[in-house]
Every structure is written in structure tokens, then in C-alpha cells.
Amino acid sequence: MEGFEVRHPGTLVDALTMQGGYTTRTRARKAIKNGAVKVQGNVVRIPSTAVEPGMNVTHDRGRRTVRSASSSGEEGSRRTKFERQEPKFTKSTKPPFDVVFEDDNFLAYVKPSGWIVAAPNPNVRTAYTNMKNWLEYQNRSNHDLHFVNKIMKDVSGICLIAKNRIWREHLQENWNDFRQGIYILVEGHLPPDDQLECKEEDGEPVQVQYRTMRATQKHTLLKVDAPMEAVHLIMPSLRRESCIIIGKGKTAPDPLKREGVHMFAVEVTGPNGEEIMIKTRVPREFLGLMKGGDTPKPGKRRNAEVKFGKADRGKHKLKPRIKHSKNTSNSTATTTDIDSVKES
């Protein structure tokens, strides 16, 4: 029998995968349902059982419990969709999503639209659980993983996974101080490379710089110097210019069946002052909709280059949205900018 003391609150299956040496959640669940796991000396057969720091968990990874055909069939019928579909990884398997940065402390990947980042229900398959399982397969040292930020299901952008508690706490506590950039796809047109007159939630005026990346007869792709959570502060200014964000709201045009928002950049500062620039390409769906468009040439630029890695963020940075709703949007980006993206 092996054992350990729970370090973090969560579910029993989480504790086994994080601290018990189980390489997948499926194996941990099977061990629990087979009666091979005890919590505080008592056998527990429910994977979602809540555990708290300080609880003692013992388990036998080599145990094989023989069950009757009837009980086996009953157990099989109870298997969740998540358990049936959980992917099988090997060390040569490619990551589930594009990885745009990785070192010993954290990893950044691009979450596509349509995926939930993380969920409290262990039976819900999420982008984080997919990446977490893949990371654990790549290296046994990846046993203390934590998701850092969330972005909403219908948008895309970079999400971070911390590989230790020190970096998780630092990244989460300082997230709103990291400069972030987003691509916004709108129906309508704006003056090239200009700025939007926006207002904070407290009414304070702020200038938000944008760059007009490409325009067709109907749509415009903007590169905006603002965090994902500030989109709701930018929307009124866009509407005043007769521009509507694609897919955002029931009445908005929805040619892509998703929101026209993608977080493409974040400038991370580490605990020791190290600076890390993370960027990503424009989503292929955006480029497909903008195919054949031109890059508008501004008559008189107002310093709206919106180049990340340089201090060109206007009068002051637009503040992220305070967490009022269940879904709060934070994200990051990758290693190549749209300026180098060619239409395919």
C-alpha cells in the first residue's frame, strides 16, 4: 500500500493524479471504483469525493478486483462520456492544442473557440484536463500543475498552465498587470490605425489604440491594445462607429459561428523580474473571412502601431473587467505576429 497526505482541496481523483502517481484520471477512477483507495482509513468508491488538506489517502496501484458480470456491466453503464472519450497519450503524441511557449515554470497554449478552459465538474472534458494529461505523460516531474487563467468558451486565445505553486500564485496575482493584446473582427469599418475613445466602468475616459490589420467590403480585422476582459468597455465605442463585433450577442452577425475575439499577446513578468513575450497567429477562421481584403493605409498615424514588446499603449492601459460574472476572461498569445501571416 502507498499513501500520502492531501496538499490541496479538490476531489479524490484529482488528489490521486496529482500526488498518488496515477498517470491518467481513468486509472485513478478505476482504482477508486475497485475499492483500492482509502481516505482516513475508510474505503471510498466515488471518484468525485471531496478531500481537504491534511487528509490521509492510501491506495494500492497493483490491486486487481474481480467483479461479477452483472456488477461489471452495471459499472460500465455508469461510465461517463468523459471517461469513454479521454484521449490516450504517449511521449511521442503531439499536444492536444498548439503550444506557443514552455519552460520549467509554465506552459502557454492556444485554446480554440468552443472549448471550456476548466470546470469544477470532473466529468466535463476541458482544454485544461487535456493539456494536463498530455503534460503528465511527457514528464513525470509534471505532477504539480495548475491552470492560471480562463477565457470564455466562444472566444480563442492563449491560456497558461503553471508547473509549480510559486509561479501559479505569481501569475494569477499579477495577471491584470500584464499587458495583453486582442484581435477583434467587426462588421463595419474604422479609420486606419487610430484610437477609440472609451470609458472605464467608473466613467473615467481612456484612449484605446488599435491597428487596422485588414479590411474587406464588409469586415475589418483590428489589433487592439487591451485585455480580453475589457471587450465590454470597447463595444460601445465600436457601435458609435457602426461596427459590431462578429458573433458577440444574439443580434450580432455570426458568419463564423463563434465570437470574433482572439487574445494574441501577453507580456509576462516573472517573480524575479524576467520578461517573457508570448504571441500567437491570427486564427485561420479570421483569415478565411478576411481573404481578399486590403491593409488600409492611414493618412496620418496617431502612433497607433500597437507593437507588443514596446511601450506604445496610449495615455494609459485600459483596466480589465472586475470579476462580476461566472466566466472571467484572461488569456495570452504566441510567437509570431499577424504582420508575418500570409493568406493561404
205 Cβ neighbours under 8 A, 6+ residues apart: 197, 198, 199
- What was the pLDDT predicted at 258? 95
Write the CATH number for 182. 3.30.2350.10
Both 57 and 103 in one domain: the answer is: no
Percent of the chain clearing pLDDT 70 (strictly above) = 78
DSSP class of residue 303? S
Phi, psi (rounded to 5 degrees) for 106 = -160, 165
Both 31 and 73 in one domain: the answer is: yes
Both 132 and 54 in one domain: the answer is: no
Both 77 and 180 in one domain: the answer is: no
CA nearest neighbour of 15 among 66, 162, 34, 46:
46
- What was the pLDDT predicted at 51? 85
Task: Tell me how crowded residue 13 is: count the other CB atoms within 10 A of its CB.
Answer: 24
The Cα 242–Cα 245 span in angstroms is 10
Q: pLDDT digit string (tens) for 219-229?
A: 999 999 999 99
Question: Is 91 in contact with 138 (CB distance < 8 Å)?
Answer: yes
Pairing relation of β-strands 37-39 and 56-59?
Answer: antiparallel
Task: Tell me how crowded residue 84 is: count the other CB atoms within 10 A of its CB.
Answer: 9
Q: How confident is the model at residue 137 (pLDDT cuts 50, 70, 90)?
A: confident
CA nearest neighbour of 188 among 156, 220, 234, 160:
220
**pTM more than 0.75:** no
Both 70 and 91 in one domain: the answer is: no
328 Cβ neighbours under 8 A, 6+ residues apart: 150, 229, 321
Please identify, among 83, 114, 146, the residue that sits at the C-terminal boundary of a domain: 83
Both 155 and 137 in one domain: the answer is: yes
Question: Is 150 in contact with 329 (CB distance < 8 Å)?
Answer: yes
- What was the pLDDT predicted at 301? 52
Please identify, among 83, 115, 145, the residue that sits at the C-terminal boundary of a domain: 83
Q: How many domains are there within the chain?
A: 2
Question: Is 124 in contact with 116 (CB distance < 8 Å)?
Answer: yes
Give strand ranges (E) for the chain. 2-5, 10-11, 37-39, 42-43, 50-51, 56-59, 99-102, 106-111, 146-147, 156-162, 179-187, 195-199, 205-215, 219-224, 244-245, 261-269, 275-279
Q: pLDDT digit string (tens) for 32-66?
A: 888 888 988 888 888 888 888 888 889 886 654 43
Both 41 and 107 in one domain: the answer is: no
The Cα 171–Cα 278 span in angstroms is 14
The Cα 270–Cα 101 span in angstroms is 14
- What was the pLDDT predicted at 326? 42
Please identify, among 54, 83, 112, the residue that sits at the C-terminal boundary of a domain: 83
Both 171 and 55 in one domain: the answer is: no
Both 101 and 235 in one domain: the answer is: yes
Both 220 and 301 in one domain: the answer is: yes
- Does 147 score more than 80 pLDDT? yes
Write the CATH number for 72. 3.10.290.10
Which range of residues forms the domain containing residue 45? 1-83
Both 141 and 280 in one domain: the answer is: yes
DSSP class of residue 325? S
Name which of 188-192, 272-276, 323-327 the model is least confident about: 323-327
Both 106 and 248 in one domain: the answer is: yes
